[in-house]
Structure 1
Amino acid sequence: NLLLFPGISFKTQLLYAIVFCTRYLDLFIRFVSIYNTLMKIFFIGSSFYILYLMKVQFKATWDPNLDTLRIEYLLGPCVLLAILFNYEFVPVEILWAFSVYLEAVAILPQLFQLTRTGEAETITTHYLFALGGYRALYLLNWIYRYFAENHVEWIVVIAGLVQTGLYGDFFYVYVTRVLRGRKFQLPA
């Protein structure tokens, strides 16, 4: 049996699909460029394709008994934050803010699943490191925009700091174990 998604949380993937759908709704009302449009379609389409693969094509490789974090505990507060803290109280901006808040916590089902098993396959840990590692690229973007454009998007910065903080323990174990050739295993 091919294990395409060993240890990957379906709920985290579902939350990322929701993030992309709510963030890129402007696809239907504002044209930026062909590249921008194609990338938005790619992110949404690939997210739903991954969900299809996990739920249908390779269903046996996902264990719902381990993927147990209730995502409504993440969705509710993100909706509330988006309504209270946004740049403009219009639907597209509220949905964009919601997507930023949700992206910050979308990794929690995956991290919760890791704590339930206590260990993970090497491929899974590399995948998680890549998911969190792109935040470092965001940091460079924030620094550039601050100095080059004198621009700071506080919603994005604060949500990004929360997301980076959530990855903290994982990054520590990844660097001290996986990069040294040992199996990813949480401390007892």
Structure 2
Amino acid sequence: MGPLRRSKNPVHMAVGWVKRQPPKIKAFLATITGILTLVFLRFVVHDHDNLFVAAEAIHALGIAVLIYKLTKEKTCAGLSLKSQELTAIFLGVRLYCSFVMEYDIHTVLDLATLATTLWVIYMIRFKLKSSYMEDLDNLPIYYVVIPCVVLALLIHPTTSHALVNKMLWAFCVYLEAVSVLPQLRVMQNTQVVEPFTAHYVFALGVVRFLSCAHWILQVFDTNGVLLTALGYGLWPPMVLLSEVVQTFILADFCYYYVKSVVGGQLVVRLPAGVV
């Protein structure tokens, strides 16, 4: 009766059906699911700023999982030092921009996140260096940074701030969108992601979706006025595109994470070519 009962579980049946679909159908289903989730949030969450607050809370939870892994498990296996370094770079630049352009509560949150990120970098580089998978963390940082620099030079805010500050602002937006790529490369190279790293990256995926939902719903709520407030030209759509890119970069991993959790697996197994 046990196997028969599992086979009739609606969740397992749905997951099994999705697994059997070709990639184009999976992409279509993922898009529809995202749209339906946005519609649900649009009517259930009345103050859409709460989505941003929820994103910050989940990010903090993800960082707590990472701290536990490093302090209790005494290993940094599966973590990308390069992703942490890219995170520190965009947070540092964003903090500078916040101080000279628009200081608010998020500046304090960024400062706390930067301090934690620098501690993680220290732990990986020095305390837990023996467990660092350097050979698998093989995505060159300049592959990520240089395109962001070029984009920032070409497309940046049209506000009244100094040109260099506007370019730095754009740079940190673009870099944040792709900073997780080295982490995804490490996971693709190992193809088996242990629980704490999986929880941390999944938390980042949820954060990115909530942040993206916050921006999209704010645009609808203001009838597009928010885009005007961001400036003119290509910059406003590039801000939204950066949010969408961040979400889709992590979408595949989040799918396999959920599938593993539903299947009762302790680790996430990624097939070749997922990320």
Q: When the two structures are superposed, what TM-score results if normalisation uses the length of structure 2?
A: 0.63
Higher Rg of the two aligned structures: 2
Contact 2:95/2:110 (<8 A) preserved: yes
- Counterpart mapping for 1:16-95 below 5 A: 16-30=87-101, 32-33=103-104, 35-88=105-158, 90-95=163-168
For structure 2, the 5+ residue unaligned runs are 1-71, 228-235
How far, CA to CA, are the matches of 2:214 and 2:180 in structure 1?
Answer: 21
1:70-123 residue CA offsets vs partner (Å, 9 max, x unmatched): 111111111000111111371111111111111111111111111111111011
Aligned length: 187
Amino acid at match of 1:156: V
Identity across aligned pairs (percent)? 35
Q: Which of 168, 181, 187 matches 2:251? A: 168
Q: Note closer, same or farther for the CA distance 1:135–1:37 as it changes in structure 2 (3 Å cut).
A: closer
Q: Which of 80, 87, 103 matches 1:9? A: 80
Q: Note closer, same or farther for the CA distance 1:127–1:37 as it changes in structure 2 (3 Å cut).
A: closer
Amino acid at match of 1:7: G
Segment of structure 1 superposing worse, 113-122 or 147-156 = 147-156
2:268 corresponds to 1:184 = yes
Q: Which of 211, 219, 223 matches 1:146? A: 219
For structure 1, the 5+ residue unaligned runs are none
Q: Note closer, same or farther for the CA distance 1:138–1:102 as it changes in structure 2 (3 Å cut).
A: same
Structure 1 partner of 2:172:
99
Root-mean-square deviation (CA, aligned residues, Å) is 2.0
Amino acid at match of 1:175: V
Q: What's the offset of the Cα at 1:42? A: 1.4
How far, CA to CA, are the matches of 2:136 and 2:110 in structure 1?
Answer: 31
1:115-170 residue CA offsets vs partner (Å, 9 max, x unmatched): 11111101111110001110121133213421344313422210111122211221
Contact 2:79/2:132 (<8 A) preserved: yes
Q: What's the offset of the Cα at 1:30? A: 4.6
Structure 1 partner of 2:203:
130
Contact 2:205/2:251 (<8 A) preserved: no
1:5-25 residue CA offsets vs partner (Å, 9 max, x unmatched): 231100000000011011121
Contact 1:7/1:124 (<8 A) preserved: yes
